[in-house]
């Protein structure tokens, strides 16, 4: 067994400076090139210290939509460096990151960042961390904390020393002669290489020609690359590596295992696929059983409720069952074809779409979801299903754009997750019917009622305006209230309105007037209140609020 380098995952809330910290350690500028200034994928990097020792860092997204990526980072790491901004304190994703580290049983080092800004309050940060269960050494706990500035580099050497001390305590070792084991970090399609997976090796020595299995995908390694895209011959424990040669994209977070031959790899994959199908069949059976139990329950209720009226029992059961199995009609739909650059990005966007909870006003359906570029078949499918193509970190080619325009297919491309969310909300709201809005204009007290020679079937209300204005317009309707009860929700529009036998179109506060309404059977009484409303249609707003957006 030989000593290996630690794998450190940088975690924390969005925009607290995680990637800027790694920039300083690597002496690069990754953060400046990231869309929206936020990390949206897991990045694995090696940092070489002055003494030649290497540290492997994983940079995880802090945005709420990338929770599954943070969980993968916590599961394949040795040490978590929790970055907390000194001017912002403990936030939602900070707490989530702490819980993930606890669940993975990984030690935490806290880096209190942005200590160079005027509003920084590191002491307050330590108190907030104590409230969520992280007791710093300064307050009698066992959690190492370091005050840093990722921007200026202050405190970075102290942070590295804390990491090295924690790594010594863990006594990290590996067997480089054993079969290769590791974890898939991300996977993607590349134009000339095909399916490529980023992984961190945990045991063994990976080399060209090795046979690998991850989930239901297998590979014969064609080429190995380091994080900078340079070809390398081998990858040992704790090294981040890109592996080309996969038959299909391996899912992010899957365990990477070496097998002796390609035939053995195929056997393992086929066995796993059968196992997955059996699990799916079991889930389907459970859903069918639940549905049958629900139908049986309604049938028994119908028998009890209509014991002596068989025809009503059949009608009741038919209506209830239809309501159970039928999809709600009359609701607009937005069909989506989803494309992303990485398996992890695809999962993050899918997690966001799964949080959609407004199916009662608009159905949101993901027709297909794939890693890779937009193809002609995607355009054809979108045209057939009247779907929108949504891409994340994938830019359509000129030919695809022209084909989409010719086929009247909309392509929405994004590289920032919350821009994608905003566009989806806007697209759904455009499908929703407008909402009728009633704005109170005024109210009047009915002093007396009488009939006219022209219209004996309806009463004229002699009123005095108590508040605002009573207006006779097509856009205005009235409401009749008797006591505390609404007699007519909308008694309709005014047929005529007059003051001292002269026709008028409006009456102001304190003014008396006679009101005659359209329609028969509207019988106001003395003491009633008539309220006048202006009606208008306003855009419908979607009540979809995922965590972090």
pLDDT at 33 over 50: no
Q: How far apart are the first and last CA of the chain?
A: 47
- Segment 385-406 shows an average pLDDT of 90
Model pLDDT, residue 326: 45
Q: Report the range of poorest mean pLDDT among 133-147, 248-262, 436-450, 489-503.
A: 489-503
The two beta strands, 217-225 and 240-246, are antiparallel
Is residue 544 assigned to a domain? no
Is residue 265 assigned to a domain? no
Helix, strand, or coil (residue 522): coil
pLDDT at 457 over 70: no
Domain count, the chain: 5
Helix, strand, or coil (residue 107): coil
Model pLDDT, residue 96: 83
Model pLDDT, residue 26: 73
pLDDT at 499 over 90: no
Model pLDDT, residue 309: 46
Q: Are residues 421 and 470 in the same domain?
A: no
Model pLDDT, residue 62: 37
Indicate the length of the chain as a whole number. 549
The two beta strands, 211-214 and 79-85, are unpaired
Q: Give the pLDDT band (50/70/90) at residue 312.
A: very low
- Segment 387-399 shows an average pLDDT of 90
Q: Are residues 29 and 83 in the same domain?
A: yes
Instruction: Calculate the alpha carbon distances from 494 to 390, 455, 475 in Å.
Output: 50, 14, 11
Average pLDDT, the chain: 81
Q: CA-based angle 23:26:30, to the nearest 5?
A: 35
Q: Are residues 158 and 11 in the same domain?
A: yes
pLDDT at 264 over 90: yes
Q: Are residues 86 and 18 in the same domain?
A: yes
The CATH number assigned to the domain holding 19 equals 3.40.50.300
Model pLDDT, residue 205: 93
Q: Are residues 16 and 90 in the same domain?
A: yes
Q: Report the range of poorest mean pLDDT among 26-35, 201-210, 221-230.
A: 26-35
Distance of alpha carbon 520 from alpha carbon 43, whole angstroms: 73
For tokens 């990858």, what's the residue? 235
90-114 pLDDT, tens per residue?
A: 888 888 888 888 887 889 999 999 8
- The region that residue 475 occupies, defined by phi over 0 for left and psi between -120 and 50 for alpha, beta otherwise, is alpha
- Segment 517-537 shows an average pLDDT of 78
- Top pLDDT among 252 and 127 is at 127
- Print the SS3 string covering 122-147: HHHHHHHHHHCCCCEHHHCCCEEEEE
338-387 pLDDT, tens per residue?
A: 998 888 788 888 888 888 888 888 888 888 888 888 989 889 888 888 88
pLDDT at 154 over 60: yes
Q: Are residues 119 and 30 in the same domain?
A: yes
Q: Are residues 75 and 137 in the same domain?
A: yes
pTM metric for this prediction: 0.64
Q: Give the pLDDT band (50/70/90) at residue 490.
A: low
**Which of 325, 341, 357 is the last residue in one of the domains?**
325
Q: Report the range of poorest mean pLDDT among 255-259, 350-354, 444-448.
A: 350-354
- Top pLDDT among 36 and 21 is at 21
**Which of 388, 407, 431 is the last residue in one of the domains?**
431
pLDDT at 414 over 70: yes
157-196 pLDDT, tens per residue?
A: 899 899 999 989 988 888 888 999 988 888 888 878 889 9
Q: Give the pLDDT band (50/70/90) at residue 458.
A: low
Model pLDDT, residue 492: 54
Q: Are residues 354 and 316 in the same domain?
A: no
Listed ranges 62-66, 191-195, 215-219; the one with the highest mean pLDDT: 215-219
For the chain, give the percent of residues with pLDDT over 90.
19
Q: Are residues 477 and 460 in the same domain?
A: yes
Q: Are residues 147 and 7 in the same domain?
A: yes
Q: Are residues 64 and 95 in the same domain?
A: yes
* Beta strand ranges found along 265-317 (DSSP E): none
Q: Are residues 91 and 159 in the same domain?
A: yes
Q: Give the pLDDT band (50/70/90) at residue 13.
A: confident
Is residue 267 assigned to a domain? no
Is residue 14 assigned to a domain? yes
- Top pLDDT among 528 and 74 is at 528
For the chain, give the percent of residues with pLDDT over 70.
83
Domain of residue 365 covers: 333-431
Model pLDDT, residue 519: 56
Model pLDDT, residue 432: 87
Six-digit token string for 5: 């380098």
Listed ranges 23-32, 85-94, 341-350; the one with the highest mean pLDDT: 85-94
Instruction: Calculate the alpha carbon distances from 518 to 57, 151, 491, 514 in Å.
Output: 75, 72, 8, 14
């Amino acid at each position: 067994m030989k000593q290996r380098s630690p794998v450190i995952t940088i975690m924390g809330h969005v925009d607290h400076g995680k990637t800027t910290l790694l920039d300083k350690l690597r002496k690069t500028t990754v953060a400046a090139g990231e869309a929206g200034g936020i990390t949206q994928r897991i990045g694995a990097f090696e940092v070489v210290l002055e003494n030649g020792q290497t540290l492997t860092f994983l940079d995880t997204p802090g945005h709420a939509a990338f929770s599954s990526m943070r969980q993968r980072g916590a599961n394949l790491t040795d040490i978590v460096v929790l970055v907390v901004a000194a001017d912002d304190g403990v936030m939602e994703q900070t707490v989530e990151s702490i819980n993930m580290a606890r669940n993975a049983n990984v030690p935490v080092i806290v880096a209190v960042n942005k200590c160079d800004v005027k509003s920084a309050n590191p002491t307050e940060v330590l108190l907030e961390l104590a409230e969520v269960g992280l007791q710093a050494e300064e307050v009698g706990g066992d959690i190492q904390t370091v005050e840093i500035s990722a921007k200026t580099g202050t405190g970075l050497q102290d942070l590295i020393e804390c990491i090295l001390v924690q790594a010594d305590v863990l006594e990290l070792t590996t067997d480089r002669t054993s079969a290769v084991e590791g974890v898939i970090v991300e996977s993607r399609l590349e134009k000339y290489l095909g399916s490529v997976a980023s992984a961190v090796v945990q045991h063994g020595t990976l080399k060209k020609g090795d046979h690998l299995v991850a989930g239901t995908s297998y590979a014969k390694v064609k080429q190995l690359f380091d994080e900078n895209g340079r070809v390398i011959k081998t990858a040992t424990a704790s090294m981040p590596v890109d592996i080309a040669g996969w038959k299909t994209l391996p899912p992010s977070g899957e365990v990477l295992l070496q097998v002796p031959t390609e035939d053995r790899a195929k056997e393992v994959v086929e066995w796993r696929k059968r196992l997955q199908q059996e699990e799916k069949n079991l889930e389907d059976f459970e859903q069918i059983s639940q549905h049958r139990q629900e139908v049986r329950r309604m049938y028994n209720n119908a028998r009890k409720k209509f014991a002596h009226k068989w025809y009503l029992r059949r009608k009741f059961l038919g209506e209830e069952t239809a309501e159970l199995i039928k999809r709600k009609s009359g609701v607009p739909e937005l069909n989506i074809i989803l494309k992303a650059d990485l398996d992890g990005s695809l999962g993050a966007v899918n997690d966001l779409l799964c949080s959609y909870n407004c199916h009662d006003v608009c159905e949101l359906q993901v027709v297909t979801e794939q890693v890779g570029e937009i193809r002609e078949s995607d355009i054809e499918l979108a045209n057939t299903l009247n779907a929108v193509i949504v891409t994340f970190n994938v830019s359509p080619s000129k030919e695809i754009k022209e084909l989409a325009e010719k086929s009247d297919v909309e392509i929405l491309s994004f590289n920032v997750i919350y821009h994608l969310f905003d566009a989806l909300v806007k697209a759904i709201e455009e499908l929703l019917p407008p909402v009728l809005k009633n704005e109170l204009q005024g109210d009047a007290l009915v002093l007396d009622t009488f009939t006219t020679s022209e219209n004996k079937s309806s009463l004229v209300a002699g009123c005095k305006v108590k508040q605002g204005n009573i207006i006779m317009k097509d856009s205005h309707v009235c409401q009749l209230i008797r006591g505390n009860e609404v007699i007519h929700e909308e008694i309709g529009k005014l047929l005529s309105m007059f003051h001292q036998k002269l026709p008028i179109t409006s009456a102001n506060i304190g003014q008396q007037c006679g009101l005659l309404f359209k329609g028969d059977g509207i019988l106001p009484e003395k003491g009633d209140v008539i309220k006048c409303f202006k009606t208008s249609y306003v855009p419908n707003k979607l009540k979809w609020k995922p965590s972090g957006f």
